[in-house]
């Protein structure tokens, strides 16, 4: 029997509203008081009721407890929700709406326990921690404690709302406008980090969020002078400490690491040269590189982080990034907050799926419009450095060649060109104060036209300019 998407989202919401509540043996959630706690079976009963009936759920225990799921034959249906028994969690169907794990202890009651999962969101109420989720909650795939498994059949029908900025905001605690602002950098970073499942995405958001002070810092606050002369970082030249201070959401620090990151980014076709960030160190603080820099650390500098994330090993990942366990409590809070979004986190990966661009197209666009390059003019300033992008040079070419064409055409009697020169020469200084240098140039060109071809201006005047 299919269940409605709206009902599933309602079930997630009533659970998320109550995470952190106390465990109350025999209790039941209250629709009018979010602080009222429940026990393990009360949570599972309410979640099944919400998934099956949505806002029409009864908000009662229906006279049920863990004992209502006493072992039955595999494949048999039990309880008023028509849940189905399976031999092991490996037998949960992919479209199960609610997955349930149970430990049946002697005599039931306090010796038994149960918990559930909806679309990757762990849901549990236990006597030690209360209502919990994330890695504080048990997995329904646990076989060391659970000895019975059931599921509420799906499939789930109806479209899930696609709101990646909202998902990111809820997963990180950011405002929706700020989440929307950083979403492209987050999405690029997650994809480059190969964070393709819920556990990896949640770990990335938790660790990167902590390291960057809530996705705010793309550059360390100190000057970097403390790194001056640090041979272990490759800072062998005067000024390297400041030049190669920590940048990106997970800080890349030192000439050596800037060089390694540049080579990696070049192989990914993200930059035009293998020494790009050595030559343009301050650009690494730009938001567009914030997630990419973190991805290099995540997949290259500490290449086992994804495997650890798959195991939900928050502490070891923290040690890989921090060298210790500084900020572990904040990282855990961020991790559990992100896990509450469950499969919705996958929306963060799909920012460009609705267009026709390939990865090569996007890389080409970055090269054309995102990478600054030096001028090739023989009269460029000495030590000028990079001045514009390819797209910018094309725009600049318009600014240089169009005046030359207009001046030449006007001298040959081209009426539209003479008319344009007259228009610009007559720019009102009150209305167009920013065009007065252009007006002076137009007047000078008109003077040259008059000297070279006075008949053209006379003809223009006679034809009613």
Quick one: pLDDT at residue 360? 67
Quick one: pLDDT at residue 366? 65
ω before 125 within 30° of 0 (cis)?
no
Name beta bridge partners: 132. 124
Quick one: pLDDT at residue 353? 46
Name beta bridge partners: 125. 131
Task: Tell me the residue length of the chain.
Answer: 465
Residues near 69 by Cβ (< 8 Å), separated by ≥ 6? Answer: 78, 79, 83, 100, 102, 114, 148, 150
- In CATH, what is the architecture of 164-365? Orthogonal Bundle (1.10)
- Which CA distances in Å does 172 have to 45, 131, 166, 263? 29, 20, 10, 31
Backbone angles phi, psi at 238, to 5 degrees: -55, 135
CA-to-CA distance for 250 and 295, rounded, in angstroms? 8
The terminus-to-terminus CA distance of the chain in angstroms comes to 79
Fold of 3-157: endopeptidase fold (from Nostoc punctiforme) (3.90.1720)
Written as tens digits, the pLDDT of the chain (465 aa) is 789 998 999 999 999 999 999 999 999 999 999 999 999 999 999 999 999 999 999 999 999 999 998 878 888 888 889 999 999 999 999 999 999 999 999 877 788 999 999 999 999 999 999 999 988 999 999 999 999 999 999 999 986 667 899 899 999 999 999 999 999 999 999 999 999 999 999 999 999 999 999 999 999 999 999 999 999 999 999 999 999 999 999 999 999 999 999 999 999 889 999 999 999 999 999 999 999 999 999 999 998 999 999 999 999 999 999 999 999 999 999 998 898 888 889 999 976 544 455 666 766 776 777 677 788 877 778 887 877 878 777 878 888 899 999 999 999 999 999 999 999 999 999 888 888 999 999 999 999 999 999 998 888 888 755
CA-to-CA distance for 375 and 460, rounded, in angstroms? 40
What are the domain boundaries of the chain?
Answer: 3-157, 164-365, 386-462
CA-to-CA distance for 110 and 130, rounded, in angstroms? 15
């Amino acid at each position: 029997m299919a269940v409605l998407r709206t009902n599933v989202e309602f079930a997630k919401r009533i659970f998320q509203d109550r995470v952190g509540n106390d465990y109350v043996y025999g209790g039941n959630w209250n629709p009018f008081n979010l602080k009222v706690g429940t026990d393990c079976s009360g949570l599972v009963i309410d979640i099944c009721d919400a998934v099956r009936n949505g806002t029409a759920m009864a908000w009662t225990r229906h006279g049920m407890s863990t004992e209502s799921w006493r072992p039955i034959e595999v494949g048999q249906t039990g309880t008023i929700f028509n849940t189905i028994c399976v031999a092991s969690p490996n037998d949960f169907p992919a479209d199960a709406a609610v997955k349930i794990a149970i430990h049946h202890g002697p005599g039931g009651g306090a010796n038994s326990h149960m918990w559930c999962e909806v679309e990757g969101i762990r849901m549990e109420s236990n006597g030690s921690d209360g209502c919990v989720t994330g890695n504080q909650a048990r997995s329904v795939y646990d076989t060391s404690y659970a000895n019975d498994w059931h599921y509420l059949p799906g499939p789930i029908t109806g479209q899930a709302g696609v709101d990646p900025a909202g998902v990111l905001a809820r997963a990180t605690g950011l405002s929706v406008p700020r989440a929307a602002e950083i979403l492209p950098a987050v999405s690029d970073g997650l994809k480059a980090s190969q964070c393709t499942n819920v556990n990896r995405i949640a770990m990335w958001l938790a660790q990167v969020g902590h390291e960057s002070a809530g996705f705010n810092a793309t550059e360390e606050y100190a000057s970097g002078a403390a790194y001056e002369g640090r041979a272990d970082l490759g800072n062998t030249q005067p000024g390297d400490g400041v030049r190669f201070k920590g940048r990106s959401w997970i800080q890349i620090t030192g000439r050596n690491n800037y060089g390694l990151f540049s080579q990696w980014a070049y192989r990914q076709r993200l930059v035009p040269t293998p020494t790009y960030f050595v030559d343009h160190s301050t650009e690494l603080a730009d938001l567009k590189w914030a997630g990419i820099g973190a991805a290099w650390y995540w997949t290259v500098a500490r290449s086992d982080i994804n495997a650890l994330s798959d195991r939900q090993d928050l502490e070891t990942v923290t040690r890989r990034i921090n060298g210790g366990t500084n900020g572990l409590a904040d990282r855990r809070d961020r991790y559990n907050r992100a896990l509450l979004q469950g499969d919705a986190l996958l929306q963060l990966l799909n920012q460009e799926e609705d267009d026709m661009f390939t990865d090569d197209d996007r890389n080409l666009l970055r090269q054309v419009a995102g990478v600054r390059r030096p001028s090739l003019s023989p009269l460029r300033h000495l030590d000028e450095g990079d001045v514009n992008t390819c797209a910018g040079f094309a725009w600049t070419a318009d600014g240089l060649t169009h005046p030359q064409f207009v001046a030449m055409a006007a001298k040959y009697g081209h009426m539209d060109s003479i008319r344009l020169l007259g228009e610009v020469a007559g720019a009102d200084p009150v209305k167009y104060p920013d065009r007065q240098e252009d007006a002076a140039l137009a007047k000078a060109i008109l003077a040259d036209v008059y000297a070279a071809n006075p008949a053209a201006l006379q003809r223009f005047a006679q034809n009613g300019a």
